[in-house]
Amino acid sequence: MTITRVTRRGLLRTGAVAGAGLALPTYLRAQESGFTNAPTGDTVTLGFNVPQTGPYADEGADELRAFELAVEHLNGGGDGGMLQTFSEKNLDGTGILGKRVEFVTGDTQTKSDAARAAAQSMIQKDGAIMISGGSSSGVAVAVQDLCQQAGVIFMAGLTHSNDTTGKDKKANGFRHFFNAYMSAAALAPVLESLYGTDRKAYHLTADYTWGWTQQESIQAATEALGWETVQNVLTPLAATDFSSYIAPVLQSGADVLVLNHYGGNMVNSLTNAVQFGLREAEANGKQFEIVVPLYSELMARGAGENIRGIPGSQNWDWKIENQLGDRYKGTNAFVKSFGEKYGFPPSQAAHTCYAQTLLYADAVTRAGSFNPCAVVEALEDFEFDGLGNGPTLYRGADHQCFKDVVVVRGKENPENEFDLVEIVEVTPTEAVTYDAEHPMFAGGNLGSCNPGA
């Protein structure tokens, strides 16, 4: 009988050899083709990194549904969705460059470290050549940085901070979703027509990257209208009861409350504000108003009837083509595909993830290569249409999409839980476009693309 003795040193040696062996395929893939995770077989793997646990899990689930639908359409399944309306006609349902699309998923948990670990695992273990998804700017910035280092493309999901394509922009990262500056620029004219130019605003702001840039943007836009900013109070991201922040608002001399909150923060702060009677209150001889710069349909459901009449902005709305016509073509095709598969209309998070997957696939096809640098070149200054937002530009200078922004308001009498907001206006692209060197986006450097090899 043979007795095998396991020693610490032996274990370490074996582990090191095994680790090197596992890492070798990735290294070889990079070496032989000149870029990370070059697909060698008849499939290509995409990595979808979404919150599957934590407070944004429902939004993550909707993103994942959209990703699955996009993959199905890319592989020739279903009714093709937006492939039929997309201005580029390179995608024919045969995968990407003839390779069948497969995907792996990661759980961001809406935590930067967990999101990076999940993305790293998908890149190193699963050979993902592109990472997409997410529901938080902190996560997007962290994963974008990782993708830049690893030499894969990052197609951001729901991220709204100016920093994602501002001071933290990266050559390998692209954002289809709009940003805080655009929300403010789109909302300002609507706020002027709704509430006039003589207003005093009180801001409650989530104390992290998105909240800061959202507050800075909306303050600048409203002050340009003539509004005065009375106070900006930073609230902890973990706060659940905002009563002590809401209570002093009426005594501050303000007549508008701006809630720079998202997700659970938004649901709770808005609910608290309504409980404290702010919607019925009068201040400075005017009706008191509440503004939520960034809307989310999923979060609006959490706030229930408290969102009635409250204005905000969205990247996209599932009703936009029906209400505003053919300029937003692609919307109905996507809503039909998504609705028939899942039984309810898609959220804006789902829409941006679906669009990003198609945009990546199309860029690879036009470039004729999965090489990230070729993809970057194909996406930079790329103009397209038919993905639901109207004519859109992927600006080369910062990898931000420029398109119309939807201004919405909580519906007074919603017919169902998916019909909570009504479109008030669409602010055209020109009104939300800014210079790439705008001070709110300064301090970053796109750098050069990294193919990873």
Q: How many Å apart are CA 127 and CA 38, to the nearest integer? A: 8
Cβ closer to another protein: 301 or 327? 301
Cβ closer to another protein: 67 or 434? 67
**Residue 407 C-beta: closest distance to another protein, Å:** 21
**Residue 307 C-beta: closest distance to another protein, Å:** 10
Cβ closer to another protein: 78 or 428? 78
Beta carbons of 190 and 310 less than 8 angstroms apart: no
B/e letters for 109-127, b = 16+ CB within 10 Å, e = fewer, are bbbbebbbbbbbebbbebb
**Residue 415 C-beta: closest distance to another protein, Å:** 8
**Residue 190 C-beta: closest distance to another protein, Å:** 25
Cβ closer to another protein: 388 or 451? 388
Q: Could you give the angle at which helices 209-225 and 180-195 cross, rounded to 10 degrees?
A: 40
Cβ closer to another protein: 57 or 225? 57
What string of H, E and C letters represents the secondary structure of the chain? Answer: CCCCCCCHHHHHHHHHHHHHHHHHHHHHHHHHHCECCCCCCCEEEEEEEECCCCCCHHHHHHHHHHHHHHHHHHCCCCCCHHHHCCCCCCCCCCCECCEEEEEEEEECCCCHHHHHHHHHHHHHCCCCCEEEECCCHHHHHHHHHHHHHHCCEEEECCCCCHHHHCCCCCCCEEECCCCHHHHHHHHHHHHHHHHCCCCEEEEEEECCHHHHHHHHHHHHHHHHHCCEEEEEEEECCCCCCCHHHHCCHHHHCCCEEEEECCCHHHHHHHHHHHHCCCCCCEECCEECEEECCECCHHHHHHHHHHHECCEEEECCCCCHHHHHCHHHCCHHHHHHHHHHHHCCCCCHHHHHHHHHHHHHHHHHHHHCCCCHHHHHHHHCCEEECCCCCCCEEECCCCCEEECCEEEEEECCCCCCCCCCEEEEEEECHHHHCCCCCCHHHCCCCCCCCCCEC
**Residue 235 C-beta: closest distance to another protein, Å:** 8
Cβ closer to another protein: 31 or 244? 244
Residue linked to tokens 């699963």: 126
**Residue 410 C-beta: closest distance to another protein, Å:** 13
Cβ closer to another protein: 92 or 305? 305
**Residue 341 C-beta: closest distance to another protein, Å:** 11
Q: How many Å apart are CA 157 and CA 318, to the nearest integer? A: 17
Cβ closer to another protein: 143 or 270? 270
311-314 sheet: strands from edge to edge:
311-314, 405-410, 421-427
**Residue 231 C-beta: closest distance to another protein, Å:** 6
**Residue 291 C-beta: closest distance to another protein, Å:** 19
Cβ closer to another protein: 267 or 290? 267
Q: Give which of 397, 376, 433 is closest to 179, Cα–Cα.
A: 433
Residues that bind another protein (CB under 8 A): 54-58, 207, 231, 233, 235-236, 238, 240-241, 243-245, 247-248, 250-252, 264, 267-268, 271-272, 275-277, 280-282, 298-299, 301-306, 318-319, 335-336, 339-340, 345, 415-416, 418
Cβ closer to another protein: 220 or 281? 281
**Residue 431 C-beta: closest distance to another protein, Å:** 29
**Residue 285 C-beta: closest distance to another protein, Å:** 12
Cβ closer to another protein: 271 or 429? 271
Cβ closer to another protein: 34 or 339? 339
Beta carbons of 86 and 373 less than 8 angstroms apart: no
**Residue 160 C-beta: closest distance to another protein, Å:** 18
